[in-house]
Each structure stands twice: as structure tokens, then as C-alpha cells.
Amino acid sequence: MGSGYRGRLAPSPTGYLHPGHLSTFLIAARRCAEQKGTLVFRMEDLDRSRCRPEFDRASLEDLGLFLEWQEGPDLGGPHKPYRQSERLKRDIYLPFWQKLRDGGWIYPCNHTRRQIQAKQKEQGIRPGPTGELSFPRALRSDVSASLKYQRPENQAFRFRVPDEKIEFKDNHLGSVAYQGGTDFGDFLIWSVEGYPSYEFAVVVDDALMGITEVVRGEDLLLSTARQLLLYRALELEIPEFYHCPLLRDDSGERLAKRKGSSTIRSLLERGWSAERIARSCMAESPDPELIQAISK
């Protein structure tokens, strides 16, 4: 019998996985195993312009070399489907979007990226803790404007962020706090391309899949603050959080798929065994050989 702990692996199939992802997923799997919990694999494949079927397949294959999950796109389970694109087709996100609309939390936003950037410049908006510029308040619309929409379809909607401090306890970092409206501004709930944003879909799915602890990289700390606002607006039970340190290359830059940093596949092709990769990814202090191998 498993315990009540439910953890998850939630890769986005936008590229081949690299050791930075693996190190987070190994920590997630270890924390779940320590609690004799259930591990869920959820494919976060909503962004049609960036996700590819070959990366979807590869992420299942690559992670399958290192760890086991009990529910997922390949295994099924009580919360299927485990691909967000399939969940979107089944309208799973719609009632939650409607709740945000009815609660007066979101507004339709028709500003182009260029208009947003011009306003940010005009108003001298400074980068927040992750270097991102907040959405300018001057471009906000009234939340009542969303009431005329039955469905989001191909219309963008933003969450109106209150000017308040958002604090949470992280199981790794301790107490964390961000200031809404300063550290981050109104964020997307639904994109003009017709799909839910990461922040929105991840909250709905973590809640529906009964996830009790979200283990993710430290780069998503600010996202967790945004997501806490969504849990509150949607009246969903809040899981615990554990943010993992990021693996960095030898110039101190974090690994990112988009930068084409060295992948797990390429390490295997270069003769690294799965055991050695896993050991290096889980080492207390960064393994210099791994850092060198992935910095090329």
C-alpha cells in the first residue's frame, strides 16, 4: 500500500532533457520513494509552437533509464489523460477558467508583445528578481470585461495580481516571500493561440491529480508565488513545495534546453553510463567532470 504522498515529474517536451532536469527529477523521485508515495508523470505539452512528438517520446525513454513512475502517459492511471494537450481537448481546464472569470480574477488582454514592451520602456519598469519585466498596470483592463466570454478560445486573459506580499514555506529553502505587483505583475492565464498558460494548467493539474508535494527547480520560485494566487482564487488545496538547486555550467550559467546545452542522450552516446550520470547529478557538490562534459 502506498502512503498518501503524491509527487510528480512534469517535463515539457520542447527539447531533449539535460542533466539539470534529471537532477530535479531524481530528487523528486527520491522524496517520493522516501515517503513510499506514488509518482506521476505528466507531459506538459500545451505550447504547440515549441513541443514536438519526438521530444515527448524521448523524455519518456530517457527518464525511464533512471527512474520509475506509477502513473503517466505510457501507463495510464486514475487521473488520465496525462498529457496536457489531451486534457485541453477534454475541456478539463474550462470550468476552472470560468471560475476565474466569475470570481473577477481575470481580464481579456489584447495587447501585442510590442505594445507591452513599449509601455514597459515608457514607464521605466525595472526587471524583477528573475530579470523579467512586469506587465504594465497602465495596460490593465477591467475584470468585468471577461464576463462577455463563454469560453476563452483564441483570446488572451490575464490574472490581476493584487499588491500584496505572498509568502510560503519551501521544504528545502525555508521561508520565501515575493511582492505581488513589484516582483511580478499580471500574468497570462490563457494565450491568444488558444491554450492555458503554464501557471494555470499546472495548478489545475497538480490539484486534480492530488499532488501533495511539488518538487521543481529554483528557477520556478516566482512561478510558485503566482500559482499560490491561483490556488486561492480557485479554492484548491495547496500542495507543499520543494525547490531544487539548479545545475550550472562552468561559466555559472544554468542549463537550458533552449541553449542547446549537453543532453542526457549525448552523455550516453559519449560513453557515460546511466549510473554514472545519475550519481553525478545527485552529488552533494557539482561533479567537475559532469560540468565539463555539459559545458562543451
Half-sphere exposure of 46 (CA within 13 A, CB side): 24
Which residues have CB under 8 Å from 9's CB, separation 6+? Answer: 25, 28, 29, 39, 40, 41, 42, 63, 67, 69
Q: Give me the least distance between CB of 7 and ligand GLU, in Å please.
A: 11
Binding site for ligand GLU (CB under 6 A): 10-12, 44, 202, 216, 220
Q: Which is nearer to ligand GLU, 101 or 257 (CB)?
A: 257
Dihedral (Cα; 139, 142, 148, 151), 10-degree rounding = 60
DSSP bridge pairs for 72: 76
Q: Which is nearer to ligand GLU, 12 or 212 (CB)?
A: 12
Q: Which residue is nearest to ligand GLU (CB)?
A: 216
Cα-based distances in Å from 185 to 78, 168, 263, 275? 36, 18, 33, 43
Active site residue 257: yes
DSSP bridge pairs for 39: 7
Burial of 244 from C-beta contacts in 10 A (0-12 / 13-18 / 19+)? buried
**Active-site amino acid positions:** 257
